[in-house]
Amino acid sequence: MPHAHRSTRGPMMTDGTPLRTLDEDDLLARILPLFGGSPDLVVAPGDDAAVLLTSDQTVATTDTAVLGRDWLDAWSSGADIGHKVIVQNLADVAAMGGTPTGVLVTLVADPALSLEWVLDHARGLGLACAEAGVAVLGGDLSSAPAGVVMVSVTALGRLDGPVVLRSGATAGDVLAVCGTLGLAAAGLRLLETGSEDRHPLAVERQRRPVSPLTAGPLAARAGATAMLDVSDGLVRDGSRIARASGVVLEVDLGALEPDLAEIRAAVGVSDALECVLAGGEEHSLLATFAPEDLPPGWRVIGRARPVARGERPGLLVDGRAVAHTGWDHFRGS
Amino acid sequence: MPHAHRSTRGPMMTDGTPLRTLDEDDLLARILPLFGGSPDLVVAPGDDAAVLLTSDQTVATTDTAVLGRDWLDAWSSGADIGHKVIVQNLADVAAMGGTPTGVLVTLVADPALSLEWVLDHARGLGLACAEAGVAVLGGDLSSAPAGVVMVSVTALGRLDGPVVLRSGATAGDVLAVCGTLGLAAAGLRLLETGSEDRHPLAVERQRRPVSPLTAGPLAARAGATAMLDVSDGLVRDGSRIARASGVVLEVDLGALEPDLAEIRAAVGVSDALECVLAGGEEHSLLATFAPEDLPPGWRVIGRARPVARGERPGLLVDGRAVAHTGWDHFRGS
């Protein structure tokens, strides 16, 4: 009974009034009030485009969620998906050292999708934006073939300090994380096996990830040399920093013991290791710093060293290479 | 033989190497070089987010194209769709008085879609951006169920002068258009009836619309009181200005004679009228000005007057109301 496991009592995707019975203006009139404004929003949605107050440099990123690939109706409510797609975009802004300011949202949906689901979804989106002080700048609604629902978000942010790329880590830096590791992946395993009660928080993080957004710009100002958010897993994302920076990142497995301990009882020893090393959708921040620059709220899990002769840049866990087990979109592996 | 009617000899959507045989990094390595840079692009795609130089106010908009609803493989090449989705977004920026500066592009596609189509599409996108001096800031690639292909674009722009809303038209203003009317709709009719040879330019405009982008910010500085781009047809879009501004827009059918004459021989008298009044996807600019402010390149097609007692704001053609025949996404009417 997957229905019973949904995090909220939000409507199922086809329960209620089908979108095809509404015209677009009616639908927008129902949705737009669910989005808060922002003092930075000069022209709100409803015209050809919105206008946002910006500074000298604007961070821009986009990320999409597709029904069946990124979520299942049985596991996530519309509000959950709204929350998740916003957080995963805002985390990318924070990982550059930016402060998120606005989003644009596109919903492409089967006209059989229910109005009730869409409104629940919009509430989730609106709430996640309000929590982060972010304005909804606009969006687009389009119909799609039967069974298709996808939400695409573009997030904008301002840079008040330096930008932090993936490529700036240098030998001697510490590798540090702000936030949890493996919790969202453990939640996914629990949903897959219908055993959500074994770790409700992990399931909640899978449905509604939490990213330490304000830590991004603070880390940038503290001197982070490289940073990203953990969306494809520690090994895969850490390897990206290592390769972009031309260093080897040595992760100490012992430093991950708190993360492993958190989920070991729920998913078992082997899966806990897999979740912590390779679990995606966590949206914690991973960064490198000169040791003396480490800001509060970050914990050291390893260090950067030069690439040895005959070696390639990459990430090692307790001195050993670990297979990349992150997600590849078109191959699904 | 719809294949023979395609505007270019670009590959069909499933001819060639399926996306599922490539990994995401390989695919990105093929696509990204097709996008030019821009002096405003501080951090190029490839990190968590891009960074763009911006001014005090940034215009932001988003619009999506879905296979089967917005295009057919038999009628449009990948490059055509790339061109079109860029132009329709940039036109929205121009219609606010903005100068487009950057776009983010999301492709959600059936893994059976061919690499060759995607590269053709990316070339079309890149060329349309280069023509407008716009940077590709980033994007996202996701897989979709069988048969589904959609492209979602978010466009950003800068405001160097005043912003122009839909709501500023006042009685006494002239209603003016910059660009053509009805050509793209006539092209669609010719594609539908397999008679492209009757007006190749109209077919070309359907596939690759042209928007007078630089006229937008110039109109704003000249004092345009209301403006939008014609995406859903003169009647429907003009009515939006009328309702937002609380005026009646009186269109003189005689002023549309050049537009009617252009396509009358190709599609017939009745369809020509329908195309000029209700044809969407044209992306010409429609605006109101105080008569003395009309900039060069614009032609007057009507005027704004006060709403009479018992009357509602709206658009009249030769004094008569015309049914809204524009497109509604979820109802398809």
**Binary contact (B57, A63; C-beta < 8 A):** no
CB distance B264 to B217 below 8 Å: no
Q: Which residues of A touch B49 (CB under 8 A)?
A: 59-61, 92-93, 95-96, 98, 155, 157
Q: Given CB atoms, is A144 within the 8 Å cutoff of chain B?
A: yes
ipTM over 0.95: no
Is some CB atom of chain A closer than 8 A to the CB atom of B152?
yes
A24 and B49 in contact by Cβ < 8 A? no
User: What amino acid is encoded at A4 in this protein?
Assistant: A
What are the chain B neighbours of A29 within 8 Å (beta carbons)? none
pLDDT in tens, A47-94: 999 999 999 999 999 999 999 999 999 999 999 999 999 999 999 999
Contact residues, chain B, for A54 at CB < 8 Å: 54-58
Helix, strand or coil for residue A86? helix
B146 touching chain A per CB within 8 A: no
CB pairs under 8 A between A and B: 229
* pLDDT tens digits, A126-156: 999 999 999 999 999 999 999 999 999 999 9
Taken in order of first residue, the domains within chain B and their CATH numbers are: 22-158 (3.30.1330.10), 174-321 (3.90.650.10)
Query: Closest Cα of chain B to A269: distance in Å?
Result: 30
CA distance A289 to chain B (A): 18
Q: A167 to chain B: which residues are within 8 Å by CB? A: 47
Give CA–CA dist A243/A245, Å, rounded: 5
> Are residues A54 and B50, on separate chains, in Cβ contact within 8 Å?
no
Taking alpha carbons only, the member of B134, B249, B253, B105 closest to residue B182 is B253
Strand-by-strand arrangement of the A226-229 sheet: A226-229, A285-289, A174-178, A299-305, A248-251, A314-317, A320-321
- Of the listed ranges A178-187, B33-42, B259-268, the least confidently predicted one is B33-42
pLDDT of residue B233: 96
Tell me the pLDDT tens digit for each residue of A226-268: 999 999 999 999 999 999 999 999 999 999 999 999 999 999 9
Share of chain A above pLDDT 70, in %: 94
- Residue A120: pLDDT over 70: yes
Contacts with B, A 111-140, CB within 8 Å? 111, 137-140
pLDDT over 80 (residue B5): no
Q: Are B288 and B174 in contact (CB under 8 A)?
A: yes
Q: Residue B2: its pLDDT value, please?
A: 45
Percent of all residues in chain B with a pLDDT value above 90, rounded to a whole number: 88
**A201-220 pLDDT per residue, tens:** 999 999 999 999 999 999 99
pTM, entire model: 0.92
Restricting to B residues 56-85, those with a Cβ less than 8 Å away from any Cβ of A are 56-64, 66, 68-70
Nearest to B68 among A70, A98, A145 (CB): A145
CB B228 within 8 A of CB B237: yes
- Residues near A20 by beta carbon (within 8 Å), at least 6 away in sequence: A111, A112, A143, B330, B331
Contact B51 A57 (CB under 8 A): yes
What is the CA A142 to chain-centroid distance, rounded? Answer: 24
**Could you give the count of Cα atoms lying within 13 Å of B241 in the half-sphere of its Cβ?**
40
